[in-house]
Amino acid sequence: MKAAVRRLALIPGIHRATHRIGLWLEAAQPRLDVSQGEAHLLAHLAEAGTCSVAQLHRAFAHKRSSLTTYLDRLERRAYVLRTAHPEDRRSFLVALTPAGSAAAGRVHRRLAALELATLRQLSDRDVLAVRAALQALQDATEPKRRPTRKKGVSR
């Protein structure tokens, strides 16, 4: 006998919403000509300003290879510039170029229009509940970190 499958309460809606955000970006006129992943990076850089690659990784949790691919494509289009981090030579800073700022602005305006249309349908309480649910999902998917040992302390 098969065990009963518990119906998912949040994930299907999140899947559909994520897909529809991608469709919303694709339908922009004039065309944005960036992938959904690239669009979200551009929008993030528009709001956050120059970021290290590590900060972008923490913000999106992309596989490092995927993040590098997105950044390579954006750099080829002259939308971002990667420079050595002045405080950590093993790391890079990612900044929007003038062309990248223009593209990021287009993406950000498109996403802002979608968000505004959505917020008009929700109460402040609803928005707080959605934000709490999304934060809980993010927290639940964070990798569990092992406690670090202090130097000189043995176990």
| Rama region for 78: left / alpha / beta (φ>0; ψ in -120 to 50; rest) | left
pTM equals 0.84
Cα angle 116, 120, 124 (rounded to 5 degrees) comes to 105
So what's the pLDDT on residue 152? Answer: 59
Architecture of domain 24-140: Orthogonal Bundle (1.10)
So what's the pLDDT on residue 147? Answer: 62
Annotated domain spans of the chain: 24-140
- Residue 45 CB-half CA count within 13 A: 33
* pLDDT for residue 4 is more than 90: no
d(CA 14, CA 56): 21
